[in-house]
Amino acid sequence: MILVHGGLDHARSWDWTARALRDDYHVYAIDLRGHGNSAWAPGALYSVAEHVLDLSALCDIIGEAPMYIVGHSLGGIISLLYSGIYPDRVKKVVAVEGLGPPPSHRVHKPASDRYREWIESVRKLEHRTPHSYPTLAEAVARMKEANPFLSDEVAEHLTLHGTNWNADGSLIWKFDNYARIFAPYGMNMEDMKQVLGNISCPALLFWGKQSWAQDPEIDGRASVIRNSRLVKVDRAGHWVHHDQFEIFINETKNFLAE
């Protein structure tokens, strides 16, 4: 089983999930390129295609197909795309808020505009010093500000494993700042539907009712995956697996055991 974290996150985000599943599965939790303890990519480009390539390479190294894959957010769409590209290599897939942006957010822009925006975003970050936090408590507070449903314990754990200490005792996030920027190219809606529609294994999808993301049942994203079930979780934001862990892990365990 492979656990794939979301954007600007890290593998230790899955610690509770890994502990809950390790007695029944051989669990791998990975740091995506540019995240956690993995190396940063050369240049400034982090595309979903390259993340899927990395996942494919890891699956080949493990060599135990078909396997189970669980992903959150960016990790969710990476996992789903891999499942559609190589449907014979995935036994079951779980995606926590991992269906990508809804159709209403996919406003078509001319290629020249997309590339210009990407270049300008990169150039701005070239001159931006990554923000540092004088104390761990301040970094934890920033984590909770961005994710209000997190408990103090989870927020501190994610912050401890998601930061590096500077020589002066301050902390800085581990991820490459360029990982904040979306690549100027990607799949169009028809290509996305084709790949997700090619998933043949059972899929379990989670959506937090208090998330900034839209309900994937209403906007039609969930229905693209044929053999899928959507779980809507109350009092959960984008990080369902942290905000309502017991619901998440019980649903996941039951799904994997079916």
What gap in Å lies between CA 254 and CA 47, rounded to an integer?
A: 33
Check whether 134 has a pLDDT greater than 80: yes
Global pTM value = 0.96
Question: pLDDT tens, 45-84?
Answer: 999 999 999 999 999 999 999 999 999 999 999 999 999 9
pLDDT, residue 78, reads: 98
pLDDT one-digit tens code per residue, 21-55: 999 999 999 999 999 999 999 999 999 999 999 99
pLDDT at residue 103 tops 90: no
Instruction: Give residue 200's pLDDT.
Output: 98
Task: Supply the pLDDT for residue 102.
Answer: 74
Q: Comparing 138 with 101, which gets the higher pLDDT?
A: 138
Residue 191 domain boundaries: 2-257
- What's the domain count of the chain? 1
Please check the confidence at residue 194 and state whether its pLDDT lies above 90.
yes
Residue 108 — pLDDT band, cuts 50, 70, 90?
confident
CATH number of 29's domain: 3.40.50.1820
Kindly state the average pLDDT of the residues 106-110. 75
Residue 190: pLDDT over 70? yes
Cα maximum dimension of the chain: 53
CA distances from 220 to 6, 72, 193 (A): 22, 19, 10
- 82: amino acid identity, one letter: Y
SS (H, E, C) the chain: CEEECCCCCCHHHHHHHHHHHCCCCCCEEECCCCCCCCCCCCCCCCCHHHHHHHHHHHHHHHCCCCEEEEEECHHHHHHHHHHHHCHHHEEEEEEECCCCCCHHHCCCCCHHHHHHHHHHHHHHHHCCCCCEECCHHHHHHHHHHHCCCCCHHHHHHHHHHCEEECCCCCEEECCCHHHHCCCCCCCCHHHHHHHHHCCCCCEEEEEECCCCCCCCCCCCCHHHCCCEEEEEECCCCCCHHHHCHHHHHHHHHHHHHC
Mean of the per-residue pLDDT values of the chain: 96
Mean pLDDT calculated for residue range 159-180: 98
Percent of the chain with pLDDT over 90: 91
